[in-house]
Amino acid sequence: MSRVAIVTGGTRGIGRAICERLRDERGFTVVANYAGNDDAARKFTDETGIPTIKFDVGDYDAVQDACQKVAGEHGLVDVVVNNAGITRDGTLLKMSYEDWDAVMRTNLGGCFNMAKATFAGMKERGWGRIVNIGSINGQAGQYGQVNYAAAKSGIHGFTKALAQEGARFGITVNAIAPGYIDTDMVAAVPEPVLEKIVAKIPVGRLGKASEIARGVSFLCSEHAEFVTGSTMSINGGQHMY
């Protein structure tokens, strides 16, 4: 039986790598969520054959409707990867409430909304996998990112609490905290700043999206049934604790 997986923010970067890995390595039926760029979504489907669905993960009702639509078209959702995330960087004194709220709504609220829409079904069927993509900056903090760091740190707490609720029903809930990965988001960092970041990574390079995808694939597999409430740090040794 093919499992059905939704990957939020799934059409590029880490999300795309996760979609392809879950399809190719796990044989899952994968649906990629995206929020805005219709042309990029069409290109993604043309290149991968993976269907997409457009909705805002921060919109509770939209998430409910979208998950019902996926269930109707592809099958009941067994696997959720909460990867969608945005940044609105700035120091606290310069950060608007709108920038705070947008990041919290998408990055942390999206995890709640997706879990709320799918958890009951997983419980009824006695099997489920939820993987939340946190961040090294949610573990260690980062100057100019009080919103992003708070949301990502919240994901790690959310993961531990929900894992306790799901454990006896065959639902595992885990997180991955990527370090700095060679994606478009990191590519936007000014070169002098990026050089300083890489200098602090013991392995001496940025990570690859495929390395995050391998971790997600393991946590979504039958082999990870005894792993729950865990955060897997994939950061090249940049932050150890």
Q: Is residue 197 part of a domain?
A: yes
Give yes or no for residue 82 having a pLDDT over 70.
Answer: yes
Choice among 57-66, 146-155, 193-202 with the minimum mean pLDDT = 193-202
Across 169-184, average pLDDT: 95
Give yes or no for residue 149 having a pLDDT over 80.
Answer: yes
Give yes or no for residue 1 having a pLDDT over 80.
Answer: no
How high is the pLDDT of residue 49? 97
pTM over 0.85: yes
Q: Report the chain's mean pLDDT, rounded to a whole number.
A: 95
> If we measure between CA atoms, which residue out of 133, 127, 49, 141 comes closest to residue 91?
141
SS3 176: strand
What DSSP element (H or E) covers 198?
helix 191-199
19 within 8 A of 7, measured Cβ to Cβ: yes
The pLDDT > 90 percentage for the chain reads: 90
- What digits encode the pLDDT tens for the residues 96-140? 999 999 999 999 999 999 999 999 999 999 999 999 999 998 899
Structure confidence at residue 191 as a pLDDT band (50, 70, 90): confident
Q: Is residue 200 part of a domain?
A: yes
Tokens 């990957």 correspond to: 7
- What digits encode the pLDDT tens for the residues 126-138? 999 999 999 998 8
Across 6-18, average pLDDT: 97
**Residue 152, domain CATH:** 3.40.50.720
Q: Is residue 241 part of a domain?
A: no
Q: How far is CA 76 from the centre of its chain?
A: 20
Across 167-184, average pLDDT: 95
Count of alpha carbons within 13 angstroms of residue 183, beta-carbon side: 20
- What digits encode the pLDDT tens for the residues 226-235? 999 999 999 9
For residue 59, what are its two tokens? 């919109």
Q: Quote the number of domains for the chain.
A: 1
Choice among 55-64, 83-92, 177-186, 206-215 with the minimum mean pLDDT = 177-186
For residue 214, give its domain range.
4-234
Q: What share of the chain is helix, strand, coil (3-state, %, to 5)?
A: 50, 15, 30
Structure confidence at residue 57 as a pLDDT band (50, 70, 90): very high
Choice among 117-131, 144-158, 185-199 with the minimum mean pLDDT = 185-199
Q: Is residue 240 part of a domain?
A: no
Q: Is residue 54 part of a domain?
A: yes
How high is the pLDDT of residue 120? 97
Ranges assigned E (strand) in 24-165: 29-34, 52-54, 79-82, 128-133
How high is the pLDDT of residue 95? 96
Give the residue numbers annotated as catalytic, written as ranges.
Answer: 148
How high is the pLDDT of residue 199? 95
How high is the pLDDT of residue 185? 74
Sign of the alpha-carbon torsion through 23, 119, 127, 86: positive
Q: Residue type at 185?
A: M
SS3 216: helix
Give yes or no for residue 58 having a pLDDT over 70.
Answer: yes
Q: Is residue 239 part of a domain?
A: no
CA–CA gap between residue 74 and residue 145 (Å, rounded): 38
Q: What are residue 232's DSSP bridge partners?
A: 176
